[in-house]
Structures are given as structure tokens and as C-alpha cells.
Amino acid sequence: MPLASLLTKRRPRIWLLAVVLGMGLAGSALATHGDPGKGPRVGVLVSDLRNPFFAHIARAVETTLADGRQRAAHITVVSSGFDPQRQDEQLKEMIRQRVQLVIVTPVDSTSLNARVAEARAAGIKVVAVDALVQGADAAVVTDSRAAGKLACEHLVRTLGGKGEVAIIDGPPNTAAVGRVSGCREALGAAPGVRVVPMALNGGATKDGGVEQMTRLLAQHPKLSGVFAINDLCGIGAEMAAQVAGRRDIVITAMDGSPEVVQRLRDPSTLIAGSATQSPALMGQRAAEIGLKLLAGQAPPQQRVLLLPSKLVTRENVGGYEGW
């Protein structure tokens, strides 16, 4: 099925509602009509539904699960707002509700380890998406290191191989760690580039990008380039630079989101490129693996499905299909 159809195909008898999962933890939920006892119960835990990347993953999971079984799946989707404690409590509640499958985008690399082990001990299948979590049956992730390297190689090229560059990091999960590692590899191969020695966590949000870029510009007036951990953070960094009147800064990021595509089409943008991801494909693959696990199949021999990234830039954005 084409990726576009995953997000546009009409899904029969699905409604959107709000739910609260234990400890006053609010989230968004998608569920099918009918008796939940007649179909597999699935919990989908995403880092932040306000980020279109995670919303696309959740939608693709829901669509694939609905299309992939003769009997309807009862699906609950919750968002943690990038709060690891909240995500842990949400998984605890999923275990209490005795779901059969959990699909999760981990907020960080360690906070869910014990709870995932508890879920597995309870017979629950666990598939991670976007970042790895210890103990999951399988994971579907972008090759983050390669993507970070792509984005920062383009940053170096656009800067002409020299300048003062900063990295705006994000939540401490394997996806962010891989991106930064790949970026540092690319920057380290450019003798004319100096990396600003600042710890900057933009939280993978637009507001975080604004905040950290504002700090950077105040402390490093000669700053010439930035790699942001994701597109939202990069767009926030661009906003702060524009407010400060700095139109000479080059920014690259990661996601290839619709919003960054709009920016790349604007001649005034400071964003030079973004390493792409395919959230619909990630969600689809995770759900397909989950369905096989529910059918009694063994976990895949290759536990981590690594998806490639490509670079979308001002120059090639016209040919980029996007999300």
C-alpha cells in the first residue's frame, strides 16, 4: 500500500476520544467500536502527539492494525508529552488493562527498561518505534547515525567547510544519540569547523529550539551554523535567529516534515536541509510485526529493522514526496 494511502484511506467505524490512564495522566486515544473483548487489545504509547511525526506513526499503526485482522482491534493511543515518568505510568496502566500488544516510541533509553520487562513477563508483546528500548521483541527505527551524518555533511558544505557550529540535542534516547554521533563525525571531518562546547537540549520542540538558539546567539555571536535534533527544533532555532536579525546562519535538522518542506521552498529560509524519516512506514512496519507476534509467530530474527534516510534540501525539495 502506498505511504500516502496509509494516511488518507478512510478507516471504517473508528472514532476519536479522550482518555485518562491512571495517576491523572491524560492522552489521546483511538479505538474501534464494539466490544473490546472480541479483538486484540493494543496500547500505542507515543512521545508527543503534538509532534506530527508521532501523530503519523500512531495513525499508521491504527490503520494497519484495522486493515490487518478480520476481527477489530481495540486500540488505545496515549501521549506522554516527552515525560519519561508519565510514559512509564502509561505502560504500567496498559499492563494493568492486560493489553496483548504494546507499540511504543520511547522517550529515553532507560526509563522503560523495568516496565518493559514486566510487560514481557505478563505475556505482552512489545515493539519499539523510532528509538530502542531494552527487552522489546522488535524495533523499527531510522538509521539515525547515518541521518545525522547526512544532515551535518550538508551543513558543512553549505558553510563552505568553515565556521562555528552548534548542536541542539534532544531527549536522551537512542535516536537522538545516533543523530548527534553521526553529526559529530561529519563535523569532525571538517578542519575549518569549530563545534561550540555547550550542552543544549531543545527537547525536540519548537519552543525548545527558540530557547536554545536564543542562548546560543547571546553567548556565541560568531555562530554560523546549527544542527537541530529534529525539524520542530530546527524551525524554532530559525525563528529565534530571524528575530535576532541573524539571516546569515545555516540550519539543518532531521525528519523531512511537511512544515520544514514549506520552509525549504521559501527563499528566505535559514534551513538548508533535513535528513528524512518515514513515520507512516515506521508505524506500518511496527504494526505488521505486532500482528505476526499476536498470531504466534516468533520475533523476527533481525530484531531491529533499520530504515534509510535521505537528504531533502532547498535544491531538491521539488522532487521530494514527503509524508
Domains of the chain, earliest start first: 3-140+279-307 (3.40.50.2300), 144-277+312-319 (3.40.50.2300)
Give the tens place of pLDDT for each residue, 111-146: 999 999 999 999 999 999 999 999 999 999 999 999
Distance CA 39, CA 75 (A): 10
15-19, 196-200, 236-240, 263-267, range with the lowest pLDDT: 15-19
pLDDT, residue 36, reads 56
Read out DSSP for 32-96?
Answer: ESS-GGGS-EEEEEES-TTSHHHHHHHHHHHHHHHHS-SS--EEEEEE-TT-HHHHHHHHHHHHH
pLDDT at 71 (0 to 100): 56
pLDDT value at position 32? 38
Give the residue-averaged pLDDT of 188-210.
Answer: 97
Residue 69: the pLDDT is 60
pTM: 0.88
Residue 167's pLDDT is what? 99
The burial class, CB within 10 Å (0-12 / 13-18 / 19+), for 169 is buried
pLDDT tens, position by position, 6-45: 333 333 333 233 333 322 333 444 333 334 556 799 999 9
Region 50-68: mean pLDDT is 93
Nearest partner of 46 among 173, 190, 161, judged by Cα: 173
Residue 158's H or E segment, with its range, is helix 144-158
Query: pLDDT at position 66, please?
Result: 85
Q: What is the largest CA-CA distance in the chain?
A: 63
Residue 73: pLDDT band with limits 50, 70, 90: confident
Higher pLDDT, 12 or 188: 188
pLDDT recorded at residue 83:
97
**Rounded mean pLDDT, 265-286:** 98
Mean pLDDT for the chain overall: 90
54 CB-contact burial (10 Å; exposed 0-12 / middle 13-18 / buried 19+) = buried
Alpha carbon 12 to chain centroid, angstroms: 27
